[in-house]
Structure 1
Amino acid sequence: MINTYFKSAYYTHLLLTAKSLIITGLFISKISVSIAQSAPFPLKPIDEQRVQEIEKMLSDKPSGFGEPYNKREVWDKLLKSGNYDRFLRGMRNYSFPSFSKDDYFSLSNGSASSSKPGLTMMRKRAEGLAKATWAECLQNEGRYTRMVEDGLRDILKQKSWVSPRSDYDFKNYNGVAYSVELTSSLYAHTITQTLYMMGDKISPKLRKEALDALYTRIFNPIHHKFKTQNDNKENHFLIADNNWNHVCLAGLVGAALTVIEDKHERAVFTYIGEYYSKNGLVGFEDDGYCVEGVTYYNYGFGHYILLRESIWQATGGKIDLFDDPKVQKISRYAPNIEIINGVYPAISDGREGAKPDEAVMIYLNRTLGLGIARYDTLTNKSGTSDNRKNVMMAFPNSSYKSQPEKNIKKDEANTRSFFEQTGVLVSRPLPTSSAKIGVALKGGNNGESHNHNDIGSYTIVQGKQIMVGDPGVIPYTNNIFDAKYRYTYKTIGSYGHPVPLVAGTQQQAGAQARSRIVHTDFTKEKDNITLDIASAYDVPELKRLERIMDYDRSHAGSITFTDSFAYANPQEFETAISTRSEWKQTSDSTLLLTRESEKMLVTFFSPGNKLLLKSEEIAEGGTPYTRIGISIAEPVIAGQIIITYKPQN
């Protein structure tokens, strides 16, 4: 079976996420070399001097998160808390998920249009091992030991631990080569946590088989990469500047620190985590902005926390990955990108309704002293679908040593968050005002990781409802990371976003398409910002295109967007409203949007021009939304379209 898609998709993904390489048409061999050379912290031989320094910091024995089952103090407290009663009742009839070859190959053979069936099946099996381990360690009655052993044995025999979307030419499945990626790193850390937590409940024979498999599939391929300095496509997570870097390093290093007996070897993997995790931090803007959106912030930066805690515990706090001043800014991304009332924009490959992970935010809030009241209380209640983060949070960790923030900051009074370097502005009402609308405006560029072509896009929240805005992610299809096809999806291209269509042309991909901040004026009552977004459009006739946002906090609040443009000769111009609200046109220049109990009045006009409306429902496998196109009736050489949003009583 030839897996040509996976090969092209992998490299296209690297192209889309490496900031200086958002171009197509490169040969595969050249791509690999170019990315390696452009990595801020490129592949290099292991620094043996630093490894020896780290070795002195490590304890004699490996250990993982939490405690083994036979150290009962915390386990008994968790069991008696009642927080796990429902979970344990559900485990009585639990069946360990089986491996499905059909699901694994469903994307490549065309039986599925999305990678979801194969990926879900793979990750459910890791979840099954974690849940059975949790159940046995909580109750300590031997009821689930056989399930743990049988599940572990089945996973060890599983032909591939990697996501089917990442198994290039099915080398992992066929045992030709093994790679550390998002799913295999999850498997490795989950397996090692199971071995650590279950202790002598796992037979010596099975324990050896697990360690042998870990070396074959995870540890040895990394040793080989450093020994040979081989710059092939496998294990490129080391130099990636997106979520892959932190996710894979967390699983790899966490697994090594949990089970590898040799202290020097553990120091080698600790060094790898310490040094190469800097690449992942580079993927965040210097102002702390996460270009991948809230969903991937939880995933990517959440794993940076796992990596930090693993190394912090292993070295007794002598190595702290939070000692980078940029981490403080990144930690504030989630509270700063909130619009109002716990609602966040679905930027990039995020999804509508996504929120920051509570455990991640509690950890950050307490460890870094962010002063956010709702994230200041420790709790020993955690989920059980993961025996890594869930166990880390249920047991004492480094955040327990931090004192609750005495001077809690009234984050609800934070009326504005401005990521100045990126050009992302979030405007909110005053806490004492009657206004109940907020907005997030996105600048940035079209060469960002998990990018949508969305310069100038915005999301408006009224109450707790997104009335208008970025539609978010659609299910990953077999070509969604292929640059030739990615932006043919309306939801990923600019067409599905509330941005202009210029002379019939959508925004172009690439870092050269970027917003420029022309003007800002921020006061207690109003926020005004002007973005130059002309470079997003490859239209030679376009001479000027600015998007102006005026946010007014007075009374019930209002938000006005003005698109001001000029051409060298008359051309068409259109802007759009993207919404999942119910809507109706109430006059030649007004719309009424309704979502749940919220109603919003939209007015639109173009000085000196007649406007036309057309609507289109877009789904592309995701939750449907409507694109309402607002266009000037005749080609013009210059003009404006002005749209104002106000709550409707």
Structure 2
Amino acid sequence: MKNFVIVVVTALCVAGTGLELSAQTVPYPIQPIDMKRVKEIEKCLNDAPAGFGDPYSNRKAWDRLLLSGQYNSFLRSMPGYQMPGFSKEDYFSLSKGTESSSGRGLTMMRKRAEGLSKLTWAECLENKNRYTKRIEVALRDLIQQKSWTSPRSDHGFKNYNGIAYSVELTSSLYAHTIAQTLYLMGDKVPADLKKLALDALYIRIFNPVMETFKSNTAERQNGFLTDMNNWNHVCLAGVVGAALTTLQSREERAKFIAIGEYYSGNGLKGFGDDGYCGEGVVYFSYGFGHYILLRESIWQATGGKIDLFKDPKVQKIAAYPANIEVINGVYPAISDCKEGARPDGNVMAYLYKSFRPGSAKYDTLGVQARTGDNRMSVMMAFPNSLTKSNLYPGRIQPDQADIRFYFEQTGVLVCRPNPGTSANIGVVFKGGNNAESHNHNDIGSFTIVQGNQIMAGDPGVIPYTANIFDPKYRYTYKTIGSFGHPVPLVADSCQQPGAGARSKTIRTGFTREKDDITLDIASAYPVPGLKKLNRTMVYDRQNKGSVTFTDAFEYTKPEGFETAISTRSEWKQTSGNTLLLTRGNEKMLVTFSSPGNQLLLKSEKIAEGGTPYTRIGISLSKPITAGEIIITYKPQN
């Protein structure tokens, strides 16, 4: 396929990224399907379609799972299980103003897909026809459901009213879930119902995708093809997976493989060349977890002849979860992630069986038995590409890498203590830019972990509201904008969004005793008189460890300057320039100073619908033209 570059204007808030309307350079733009490539792919395919796992009729495989005992609790819970119904009230709750977010309608929609998966798992495990009729009823109900699309994505309710159909996160989930049910249930699904399901897949999913290439434009409902975020891989995995599971025509299946092979490059482009995921660990699991599904679908359909893991960037991306971990299994809540977020266990197991990046501790990860999904959970429970061989052995990173990881191209540094020492404090220091997907205007932000507690730093995300992805309103939320983050307030100005607001690395110095890095973050602030704003972090591994941040600034005329501590720890001021943070069993001393200047302290409780946290502002007592504010965090002795 040709690989050329065009500029596409995309309303990123529609795709759920939370960025402003902007022009993007799309590495893999919309173009006609390459039929030469399709013919090459056809030669790799079997005559019949197939999905993940085996149909229920392979009793040896399903009885093995049944006898494992891992599903006993699930099966005991299923006789009284009721498939969730479709609620028109929930679907329209956002548009009618009865809810502040689309969560109610989206949850209802996805619970129905989960219900079909659970019933399918139960019947395939037991094979007693106890759930067969209920699966048939559920399938007919879902096929007739007016919309497979999330209420947020059903613009003008065209899906609900049957005017046009959108391929997005939820509709692609429905497509693949229905396809897997048809495949796993085999002859237990009546022929007429199979035809109705296939017709619905064509009308709602396959045809709308193919129409995109006929018109040679990326219609908004199929913008996932050129998205450079989690939408790309999530939608492609559902569409391609459904096609490979249900379509009899080898040529049709080959076309969808060609689509997945080509356009998934856009999703990979959204990751840093160093493997960094700007969307954070939750969306890493979601987005890249679906890249795994897409890869596995294509790998199985072509007998391993087409492998999306051969892209050398993939191995760097696969190492992201291990590299971004701070210490003791704690990860930063960067972008739209909550405190306590961790990468998905099955995604991690798949990646570490594939590549073995990071520390040896990840080698013990096992597959988690799940039944709320009949795609990833089935794929992991049955033989797959990992069963045949370890194709990408990779290497265990040396001890020196364990004490730090530097995403050099992105400007994100993770610092950890030396093994076997008394230090038990780690930090993530974030550079990057303010046009990243799910961005929070957070250049220069950080997360400090002591023991297994986040003592201070990035507060994470608040619950999604109706306008949280609207560029006009997104950064009016303090937690999404820079105000709620531990970054400066410059001449009363918060950080601005956009790719022009980006960090520049001035210097780095890494040793076994100390790591230090200086970022120029001045471009993040729309302050004409700002001549300089450098933030330096020094991480000291000696003794019990410490982290020091120094903000050095300069204006053309006297202005105010403030920096902040964001924390969910209990805190108190113990002296004029000292705070004590307490969380769980951990205590941390914070000292602050500004040579030659007096500092003022003020605090504000912020919740915005999420878990409350405190912003402690540390400001100059009067405007000045140049100066420094220094803050040091260290465990209490």
Aligned: 1:625 with 2:590: no
Letter in 2 for 1:274: E
**Aligned equivalents of 2:86 and 2:15: distance in 1?**
32
Contact 1:498 1:578 in 2 (8 A): yes
Aligned runs of 1:196-275 on 2, under 5 Å?
196-275=183-262
**Aligned equivalents of 1:378 and 1:625: distance in 2?**
33
**Aligned equivalents of 1:17 and 1:136: distance in 2?**
38
Contact 1:108 1:478 in 2 (8 A): no
Q: Which residue of 1 aligns with 2:4?
A: none
- Displacement of 1:374 after TM fit? 3.6
Q: Residue deviations 1:166-198, cap 9 Å, x none? A: 001111011000011000000000000000000
Aligned: 1:174 with 2:161: yes
Aligned runs of 1:358-507 on 2, under 5 Å?
358-370=345-357, 372-377=359-364, 379=366, 381-403=368-390, 409=397, 414-507=402-495
- Displacement of 1:624 after TM fit? 0.8
Match of 2:46 among 23, 48, 59: 59
Q: Which residue of 2 aligns with 1:3?
A: none
Q: Relative to structure 1, is the Cα distance of residues 283 and 308 closer, same or farther in structure 2, using a 3 angstrom cutoff? A: same
Letter in 1 for 2:411: G
Aligned: 1:615 with 2:596: no
Match of 1:186 among 153, 170, 173: 173
Contact 1:292 1:448 in 2 (8 A): yes
**Aligned equivalents of 2:355 and 2:563: distance in 1?**
42
Aligned: 1:140 with 2:127: yes
Q: Which runs of 5+ in 1 are unaligned?
A: 1-9, 25-30
Letter in 1 for 2:289: G
Aligned: 1:597 with 2:566: no
**Aligned equivalents of 1:165 and 1:559: distance in 2?**
42
SS of the equivalent of 2:105 reads helix
**Aligned equivalents of 1:379 and 1:461: distance in 2?**
27
Q: Which residue of 2 aligns with 1:340?
A: 327
**Aligned equivalents of 1:319 and 1:127: distance in 2?**
30
Aligned runs of 1:510-529 on 2, under 5 Å?
510-529=498-517
Q: Residue deviations 1:508-535, cap 9 Å, x none? A: 1100000000010000000000000000
Letter in 2 for 1:622: G
Contact 1:602 1:644 in 2 (8 A): yes
Q: Which residue of 2 aligns with 1:11?
A: 11
Q: Residue deviations 1:62-105, cap 9 Å, x none? A: 00000000101221111101100011111122111011111111
Contact 1:471 1:625 in 2 (8 A): yes
SS of the equivalent of 1:484 reads coil
- Displacement of 1:373 after TM fit? 3.0
Residue-pair matches, total: 627
Q: Which residue of 1 aligns with 2:102?
A: 115
**Aligned equivalents of 1:276 and 1:206: distance in 2?**
32
Q: Residue deviations 1:286-344, cap 9 Å, x none? A: 11100111110000000000000000000000000011000011111110000000100
**Aligned equivalents of 2:37 and 2:309: distance in 1?**
19
SS of the equivalent of 2:501 reads strand
Contact 2:349 2:367 in 1 (8 A): no
- Displacement of 1:369 after TM fit? 3.3
Contact 2:532 2:553 in 1 (8 A): yes
**Aligned equivalents of 2:389 and 2:51: distance in 1?**
21
Letter in 2 for 1:634: K
Contact 1:413 1:431 in 2 (8 A): no
Contact 2:280 2:334 in 1 (8 A): yes
Q: Pick which of 189-198 and 372-381 moved more.
A: 372-381
SS of the equivalent of 1:376 reads helix
Letter in 2 for 1:264: E
Q: Relative to structure 1, is the Cα distance of residues 452 and 523 closer, same or farther in structure 2, using a 3 angstrom cutoff? A: same
Letter in 1 for 2:11: Y
Percent identical: 68
Q: Relative to structure 1, is the Cα distance of residues 183 and 632 closer, same or farther in structure 2, using a 3 angstrom cutoff? A: same
- Displacement of 1:205 after TM fit? 1.3
- Displacement of 1:376 after TM fit? 2.6
Q: Residue deviations 1:233-253, cap 9 Å, x none? A: 120101111110000000000
**Aligned equivalents of 1:380 and 1:72: distance in 2?**
21
Contact 1:416 1:426 in 2 (8 A): yes
Contact 2:522 2:532 in 1 (8 A): yes
Q: Relative to structure 1, is the Cα distance of residues 512 and 15 closer, same or farther in structure 2, using a 3 angstrom cutoff? A: farther
Q: Residue deviations 1:1-48, cap 9 Å, x none? A: xxxxxxxxx825169959xxx765xxxxxx7xx65xx31110000100
**Aligned equivalents of 1:105 and 1:611: distance in 2?**
51
Letter in 2 for 1:300: G
Aligned: 1:606 with 2:594: yes
Aligned: 1:314 with 2:301: yes
Q: Relative to structure 1, is the Cα distance of residues 218 and 411 closer, same or farther in structure 2, using a 3 angstrom cutoff? A: farther
Q: Relative to structure 1, is the Cα distance of residues 476 and 514 closer, same or farther in structure 2, using a 3 angstrom cutoff? A: same
Q: Which residue of 1 aligns with 2:626?
A: 638
Q: Which residue of 1 aligns with 2:88?
A: 101
Q: Pick which of 75-84 and 361-370 moved more.
A: 361-370
**Aligned equivalents of 1:62 and 1:615: distance in 2?**
61
- Displacement of 1:207 after TM fit? 1.0
**Aligned equivalents of 2:360 and 2:118: distance in 1?**
31
- Displacement of 1:229 after TM fit? 1.7
Q: Relative to structure 1, is the Cα distance of residues 501 and 359 closer, same or farther in structure 2, using a 3 angstrom cutoff? A: same
Match of 2:556 among 562, 568, 571: 568
Q: Relative to structure 1, is the Cα distance of residues 247 and 15 closer, same or farther in structure 2, using a 3 angstrom cutoff? A: closer
**Aligned equivalents of 1:370 and 1:498: distance in 2?**
31
Q: Residue deviations 1:399-430, cap 9 Å, x none? A: 12234969755779700000011100000000
Contact 1:379 1:394 in 2 (8 A): no
- Displacement of 1:393 after TM fit? 0.4
- Displacement of 1:223 after TM fit? 1.5
Q: Which residue of 1 aligns with 2:57?
A: 70
Q: Relative to structure 1, is the Cα distance of residues 381 and 338 closer, same or farther in structure 2, using a 3 angstrom cutoff? A: closer
- Displacement of 1:368 after TM fit? 2.0
Aligned: 1:47 with 2:34: yes
- Displacement of 1:365 after TM fit? 1.2
TM-score between both structures, scaled by the size of structure 1: 0.94
Q: Pick which of 407-416 and 437-446 moved more.
A: 407-416
Letter in 2 for 1:620: E
Contact 2:426 2:449 in 1 (8 A): yes
Q: Residue deviations 1:103-139, cap 9 Å, x none? A: 1111111100111111111000000000000000001
TM-score between both structures, scaled by the size of structure 2: 0.96
Q: Which runs of 5+ in 2 are unaligned?
A: 1-9
Q: Which residue of 1 aligns with 2:568?
A: 580
Q: Relative to structure 1, is the Cα distance of residues 380 and 433 closer, same or farther in structure 2, using a 3 angstrom cutoff? A: closer
**Aligned equivalents of 1:519 and 1:380: distance in 2?**
42
Match of 2:531 among 543, 553, 563: 543
Q: Which residue of 2 aligns with 1:285?
A: 272
Contact 1:415 1:429 in 2 (8 A): yes
Contact 1:42 1:239 in 2 (8 A): yes
**Aligned equivalents of 1:71 and 1:89: distance in 2?**
23
Contact 2:560 2:622 in 1 (8 A): yes
SS of the equivalent of 1:487 reads helix
Q: Which residue of 1 aligns with 2:496?
A: 508
- Displacement of 1:152 after TM fit? 1.1
Q: Relative to structure 1, is the Cα distance of residues 288 and 117 closer, same or farther in structure 2, using a 3 angstrom cutoff? A: same
Contact 2:354 2:393 in 1 (8 A): no
- Displacement of 1:231 after TM fit? 3.2
Contact 1:358 1:375 in 2 (8 A): no
